[in-house]
Amino acid sequence: MREIRLHDTRTGEVLPLRPRDPGRIGIYACGPTVYSRIHIGNARPFVVFSLLKRFLEHEGYDITLVVNITDINDKIYDAARAQGRPSTELAAEMTAHYRADTDALGLGRPDHEPLASQTMEAIIEHISALVFAGHAYAAGGDVYFRVRSDPAYGSLSHRRLDEMDQGEGDSDPAHPGEHKEDPHDFALWKAHKPDEDTAWDSPWGRGRPGWHIECSAMAESILGVELDIHGGGSDLVFPHHENEAAQTRAARGRELARLWMHNGMIQLTGEKMAKSAGNIALLHELLARYGAQAVVMYLISGHYRQPLAFSDVALERAQANVNHIREAGRRLGAGVTSYRDHDEKRHIQSFRDRFFDALAADFNTPSALANLYEWIRGAGHLGVKGHNDLREMLIVLGLASLLEPDKQAPLGVRELAELRDQARAARDFKTADKLRERIAALGWEVRDGIDGPELIPLSQ
Ligand SMILES: [Zn+2]
């Protein structure tokens, strides 16, 4: 088994992966807040953690991937109010859109997708444990976490307390943050407000949970504490993940996660793609324009920890790379990869080994891709046949569909190709060229191979 190393935000080091239970790895990644269609920035963690799961499975681990859905949140109440709709209806609609949009990536679903609204019992139990231990206090129907009661607070984001703003609007006189003992404290439970259309019963009165406690409860109820990898976008390190970590440490006396993994942001025209910004690249629009394989390829073209620039050029480059692999698959043909001799096999397979080694070294997808292209180059140069060894790499990247046989052209297109072949045989190249253009207008390319003309679908 390869040693797998991943960057841990808490220690700032690239650490060997040491699962809590040997051979098994639990991953919790923060999913979307369902108040609008998701954009490419939300798709990045979905893709990173789905592919990490595939890689770890390839390495022989048993993986449980949990990606939650935040369906109770200020943003949902605000968006629903603006549209004059019930918040539960908006959240249900956007959850369905999120599932459909991410399904279309072709990477399968996480093993568990808990909803905050269905984890209420565990959330209330967790808050009760914090209140009982003196780490939280009820005030005016709210419950707050007492940040100064946790000596390790700040150990994930490495911020000083005076640089921390919980973003709960305490400086805004219109918001009643005055229930807090200390402005650094954050809400675990919020008393019901008249302009919110859902509320749940609790020992502190009717209300609803804060965002951070939802994740602590969802993660623990499925994976238990000291889960192996907690992930999400780097914009979540503070306050969301710092607060999740504090809640679990204070209530359970153990760390929530053994390793914290954060992906960089997608940068739109050089600026961070903020969740609330308008004019953002929606995932379903990009999928329609470029196809799922190009979108996945774009997202793995940079190292997951680095910011990734978003542009049409970058997506077009990804599309070209996808076509390059598809072409290689056609050349290789289906079946077991056969090499002429042992030296040839060793030479080509060294790129395959380096592909997996790159993924083991902090999930370096651009380096892995470079080795995959070298594998293709070497195999093409030596006339290797059979795509199975390439397929092994593409499965881990979620791109094995590139090797699926081309669909058969419709009858009308095949008849045009037949006419073109007859025109060529009669040396009537003018007619043959016209027929080629008509076939292209129908979305097909005629290629004259050794075994006669072939019809290849033009790329999306
Ligand atoms: Zn979360």
pLDDT tens, position by position, 55-106:
999 999 999 999 999 999 999 999 999 999 999 999 999 999 999 999 999 9
DSSP character string of 62-128:
EEEEEE-BB-SSHHHHHHHHHHTS-HHHHHHHHHHHHHHHHHTTTS---SB--BGGG-HHHHHHHHH
pLDDT tens for each residue of 116-133? 999 999 999 999 999 999
Domain annotation covers residue 271:
no
User: What is this structure's pTM?
Assistant: 0.91
CA of 460 to the centre of ligand 1 (A): 36
CA of 346 to the centre of ligand 1 (A): 45
Do 106 and 30 belong together in one domain? yes
Which residues, in sequence order, are bridge partners of residue 66?
A: 28, 112
CA of 31 to the centre of ligand 1 (A): 7
CA of 339 to the centre of ligand 1 (A): 48
Domain annotation covers residue 215:
yes
CA of 451 to the centre of ligand 1 (A): 56
Do 101 and 120 belong together in one domain? yes
Q: Could you give the CA distance from residue 363 to residue 51 in angstroms, rounded to a whole number?
A: 9
pLDDT for residue 149: 96
Contact 206, 194 (CB under 8 A): no
Q: Could you give the CA distance from residue 7 to residue 15 in angstroms, rounded to a whole number?
A: 6
CA of 433 to the centre of ligand 1 (A): 58
E strands, 264-369, are 266-268, 271-272, 308-310
**Residue position matching structure tokens 């681990």:** 61
Domain annotation covers residue 254:
yes
Residue 258, phi then psi, degrees to nearest 5:
-80, -25
Do 123 and 180 belong together in one domain? yes
CA of 322 to the centre of ligand 1 (A): 33
CA of 232 to the centre of ligand 1 (A): 8
Residue 190 CB-density burial (10 A; 0-12 exposed, 13-18 middle, 19+ buried): buried
CA of 212 to the centre of ligand 1 (A): 6
Any idea what the CATH number is for the domain that residue 378 is in?
1.10.730.10
Domain annotation covers residue 227:
yes
Do 232 and 324 belong together in one domain? no
Domain annotation covers residue 272:
no
Domain annotation covers residue 277:
no
Domain closes at, from 231, 263, 295: 263
Do 238 and 196 belong together in one domain? yes
CA of 30 to the centre of ligand 1 (A): 4
Domain annotation covers residue 108:
yes
Which residues have C-beta within 8 Å of that of residue 8, sequence separation ≥ 6? 14, 15, 259, 260, 261
pLDDT for residue 275: 46
Do 318 and 224 belong together in one domain? no
Q: Could you give the CA distance from residue 11 to residue 21 in angstroms, rounded to a whole number?
A: 21
| CA terminus-to-terminus distance, the chain | 39
Do 102 and 133 belong together in one domain? yes
CA of 372 to the centre of ligand 1 (A): 34
User: How many independent structural domains does the chain possess?
Assistant: 3
CA of 241 to the centre of ligand 1 (A): 7
CA of 243 to the centre of ligand 1 (A): 10
Do 100 and 174 belong together in one domain? yes
CA of 330 to the centre of ligand 1 (A): 43
SS3 282: strand
CA of 67 to the centre of ligand 1 (A): 9
CA of 129 to the centre of ligand 1 (A): 20
**pLDDT less than 50: residues of the chain:** 171-174, 270-273, 275-278, 460
CA of 138 to the centre of ligand 1 (A): 23
CA of 142 to the centre of ligand 1 (A): 20
CA of 108 to the centre of ligand 1 (A): 21
Do 205 and 345 belong together in one domain? no
Do 346 and 216 belong together in one domain? no
Do 172 and 314 belong together in one domain? no
Do 157 and 292 belong together in one domain? no
Give the pair of three-digit tokens for residue 293: 């394989």
Any idea what the CATH number is for the domain that residue 56 is in?
3.40.50.620
pLDDT for residue 268: 80
Q: Could you give the CA distance from residue 51 to residue 124 in angstroms, rounded to a whole number?
A: 33
CA of 336 to the centre of ligand 1 (A): 43
pLDDT for residue 280: 67
For residue 52, the enclosing domain spans 5-263
Domain annotation covers residue 269:
no
CA of 4 to the centre of ligand 1 (A): 25
